[in-house]
Amino acid sequence: MRPMPTAPAIPLKPREFSRLGAERFDALVIGGGITGAGIARDLALRGATVALVDQDDFAAGTSSRSTKLIHGGLRYLQQRNFGLVFEACRERRILQQIAPHLVRPMPLLIPLYRHNRPSRSVVHAGMLLYDLLALRRNTHPHRMLTASDALARQPLLDPRGLTGAALYWDCRMDDARLCLENIIAAREAGAVTVNYARVTGLCRRDGRIAGAIVADRESSASLEVTARLVINATGPWLDRVGAFSEAWTPRLRPTRGSHLLVARLAGGEEALYLSAAGDKRMFFILPWGELSLIGTTDLDDHNPPEETTVTAAEISYLLGEAARYLPGTQLTGSDVVSTFAGIRPLLAGRAGQASSVSREHAIFETPDGLLAIGGGKYTTFRAMAAELADRAMVRLGRPRGVATTAGQPLPGGFPGWDRLLQTPPPQALRLGLGTAELQRLVNRYGSRAQHLLALLEGEPELAAPIAPGVPLLGVEVAYAADFEMARTPEDVLRRRSPLALLPGHGLAAVEAVATLLGRRLALPPQRLAANIASYRQTYAL
């Protein structure tokens, strides 16, 4: 393993839109969600020259709107999809190794009730199989608990008819930052990665796709990107972008999943995995910082993905189902701190309930040469990327090589990533950073927390919160601008930190964030004013 870098390896120039038109690339990846980010990293590490563009911010689509679990997929056992569970358990382990700051073990409880299916023995058998398929790569093997053990762990559970619980381990993650770290890793391996750059058409040479037209959403500029291979990794937009090729046939059956955040329901670290009474779907209640995350739903949704919203019916469904298990909490709509929804880019298959649609992925190639990938889930993105990169290298006529993405830490995941917590450096104390701040920096940036301290050496005034009482330091905004390609306050407050989803929604900080971004990136004041107005409109209660 490489040693932990102590200073940012590459001073990232904020944006490289014009470079897209000035160079010829082996591959152009369209889409900077986790699928595209994983592919760009893999291909760049194999030595291909790569450009990646996203029409919005990186991870602004589904990849910041997931349930934030890296999981083996217990549910897929019911569908007898053992291959998917095996692969997901393997990937769960790899992601814990390469991004330990962002992917962390989390205990989950499945409470068992006399009146509920499946029975204790069926759940127990499923748990044994889940452990077996993990091949000892799980954090801990499962345990079957008595009712009183279950209540000791989650005292808010309805005790009536409770016969016990299954306790098992999966992982929680920071989805937006895991995606961003893949983008940064791709960039460190040589890729050109540009957000707010939309593909508006494909270019052909001799009847084959040989690039794309990309429009800069920050200016009126548009240019042609020349690439030997164009890869459509646009998740829920797959069919829309695919249709730029005349040879495309629609592939998706998109479904919406919604989540609610409420004040923390119970003190313990265990999440709950529950079966809804209405439609028998499984849903989660997860501890998420000071909040609990309840989700998700699974409904067909053919609206444009950018218009996705959580409906009142979904809020009442999730609150109602949560209340059945936690009757003392008496949740109402006014307890909801925030909501978010995402679109699953599932592949159309047989008709039936949305929740029964396969979560597997597939790679497609049109006769005119567009390579595309759809379906899949966050947990397996690295393996999906490796499979696509294998195919891409063959198409490029280059030695295929092998994916090295499993053995290389992501930028914040270097061994010793939490060293700052074990021995806080005197410099942190000098700057007035307490344990809580250091903990937050280490959890968010892993080994790169050192970079923020290095930045503070020259600009100690950035050690203060960006606005009074807001848990975000000035240095985090500066770092997001200088090294993490943030362009708008929402990029900082929703994806590089979670403030937009917390009580107050980051509204107290939006102006200060915009001002600092403007200063560091030399952004025009009219654009900043428009960004602030749009943020307030999206997140004002």
Ligand X SMILES: Cc1cc2nc3c(=O)[nH]c(=O)nc-3n(C[C@H](O)[C@H](O)[C@H](O)COP(=O)(O)OP(=O)(O)OC[C@H]3O[C@@H](n4cnc5c(N)ncnc54)[C@H](O)[C@@H]3O)c2cc1C
| Contacts to ligand X by CB under 6 A | 30-36, 53-56, 60-63, 65-69, 71, 198-199, 233-237, 241, 257, 296, 342-345, 376-379
CA-CA-CA-CA torsion sign (366, 368, 372, 374): negative
Shortest Å, Cβ 317 to ligand X: 14
Give the residue with the Cβ less far from ligand X, 103 or 420.
103
Give the residue with the Cβ less far from ligand X, 162 or 276.
276
* Secondary structure (3-state) at 199: strand
Nearest to 308, CA basis, from 117, 38, 56, 2: 56
Shortest Å, Cβ 6 to ligand X: 31
Q: Are 511 and 517 in contact (CB under 8 A)?
A: no
Shortest Å, Cβ 338 to ligand X: 15
Write the CB contacts of 165 (distance below 8 Å, at least 6 apart in sequence). Answer: 109, 110, 111, 112, 144, 145, 147, 149, 150, 153
Give the residue with the Cβ less far from ligand X, 275 or 379.
379
Give the residue with the Cβ less far from ligand X, 374 or 506.
374
Shortest Å, Cβ 200 to ligand X: 7
- Calculate the alpha carbon distances from 122 to 45, 77, 144, 412, 528 in Å: 44, 11, 12, 40, 56
Q: Running DSSP on this structure, what letter comes out for residue 367?
A: T
Backbone angles phi, psi at 344, to 5 degrees: -80, 125
Question: How far apart (Å, rounded) are the C-alpha atoms in residues 87 and 70?
Answer: 12
Q: Running DSSP on this structure, what letter comes out for residue 279?
A: T
In the block, residue with structure tokens 């923390």: 264
Shortest Å, Cβ 487 to ligand X: 13
* Secondary structure (3-state) at 242: helix
Sequence letter at residue 314: E
Shortest Å, Cβ 293 to ligand X: 10
Shortest Å, Cβ 11 to ligand X: 25
Give the residue with the Cβ less far from ligand X, 187 or 344.
344
Burial class (CB in 10 A: 0-12, 13-18, 19+), 177: buried
Question: How far apart (Å, rounded) are the C-alpha atoms in residues 101 and 380?
Answer: 18
Question: How far apart (Å, rounded) are the C-alpha atoms in residues 517 and 488?
Answer: 7
Question: How far apart (Å, rounded) are the C-alpha atoms in residues 230 and 442?
Answer: 37
Shortest Å, Cβ 7 to ligand X: 30
Give the residue with the Cβ less far from ligand X, 101 or 451.
101
Question: How far apart (Å, rounded) are the C-alpha atoms in residues 361 and 83?
Answer: 13
Give the residue with the Cβ less far from ligand X, 244 or 414.
244
CA-CA-CA-CA torsion sign (448, 454, 459, 461): positive
Give the residue with the Cβ less far from ligand X, 236 or 412.
236
Q: CA 349, 353, 356 angle in degrees (round to 5)?
A: 65
Nearest to 32, CA basis, from 10, 63, 11, 69: 63
Give the residue with the Cβ less far from ligand X, 235 or 446.
235
Give the residue with the Cβ less far from ligand X, 241 or 393.
241
**Residue 264: how many other CB atoms lie within 10 Å:** 13
- What sections of 252-311 are H helices per DSSP? none
Q: In which element (H, E) is residue 183 found?
A: helix 175-188
Question: How far apart (Å, rounded) are the C-alpha atoms in residues 309 and 266?
Answer: 27
Give the residue with the Cβ less far from ligand X, 358 or 450.
358
Shortest Å, Cβ 534 to ligand X: 16
**In DSSP terms, which residues pair with 365 in a beta bridge?**
371
Shortest Å, Cβ 541 to ligand X: 23
Give the residue with the Cβ less far from ligand X, 8 or 498.
498
Question: How far apart (Å, rounded) are the C-alpha atoms in residues 189 and 52?
Answer: 13
Give the residue with the Cβ less far from ligand X, 63 or 338.
63
CA-CA-CA-CA torsion sign (317, 320, 325, 330): positive
